[in-house]
A and B are shown apart, each in its own frame.
Chain A
C-alpha cells in the first residue's frame, strides 16, 4: 500500500490549477473531465513520480464550515516541504501571494503560511540541518 494521492478542496478547479501550476510551480499530471467537475492532479517538478495532489471541488456542504473555521484560526491543513522557506517566501510574494505568517524559526523547522486564493492556507516547511 502506498500513499499516492492526497486531496485539497478548492473553490474553483480551473483557478486552482492555474495557482498550483503557474504560481507554485507544480506540474499538471491528470485532468480528466467528469461532468461538472474534473479529476485534476498535480505533482512536484522535483518528484514527478511522487504523491499527486488532487484539486478536489469544494462542493460538499460540510466542506464550507470546515474550511472556514480552519482559515479563521490560521490553520494550514496542507503543508509542503521546501529547501529554503526564505527564498520561497520572497519568490511567492513577488508573484503576489499573500502570507498570513512570514518565515518563522521554530527551532527545528522554519515555517511560513500563505493563502492559496482557493479557500485554503498552506504551510511551507524547511527542516533545519541538525547540528
Chain B
C-alpha cells in the first residue's frame, strides 16, 4: 500500500470529519459513516468518494479496518498523530504556557 503522510491525510475537511465520527464511535461501516457525515456535517459526498477518503486515512495509519461478520468496519488510530506533538512539542516555559492555557483547547489546536 502507498504510504500517505499524516499532514496530507488531515488536510481535508471531510477526512477530519470522518476521524471525528470514528472517535465518537469506533467500529463503523462505510454506510454508518456516510449517514453521519451527511446528517451531522452536511457532507453529501458519494459512498465511493468517502471510500477513497478512508483509503487515504488508512494509508496514513490513521484508521484500521477489520472484518466483523461479513461487514468491513473502521477504527480510529491516533498513534501517528503523536509525531506532530513530538516534532513541535508544547512549550513547558511558564510564561508561554500561561498564555496557551488561557486559549481554548490547546491539544485540539495542535492535533488539527
Residues in chain A within 8 A of chain B (CB atoms): 68, 71-76, 98, 100-102, 104, 106-108, 111, 113, 115, 119, 121
Contact = CB atoms under 8 A, between A and B. Distances in A.
A107 B70 contact: no
A107 B41 CA distance: 11
Nearest to A68: B70
B64 to A, nearest CB: 16
B7 interface: no
**Dominant secondary structure at the A interface:** mixed
A76 B31 contact: yes
B33 to A, nearest CB: 9
Size class of B's contact patch? 10 to 19
Interface of B: 25, 28-32, 35-36, 39-40, 47, 51, 68-73
Contacts of B25: 102, 104
**4 closest residue pairs by CB, A with B:** A74-B29, A74-B31, A106-B39, A73-B30
A74 B39 contact: no
B70 A71 contact: yes
Contacts of B70: 68, 71-72, 119
Contacts of A98: 69
Contacts of B31: 73-76, 101, 113
Interface centre among A71, A73, A115 (most CB of B within 10 A): A73
A20 B58 CA distance: 37
B47 to A, nearest CB: 7
Contacts of A76: 31
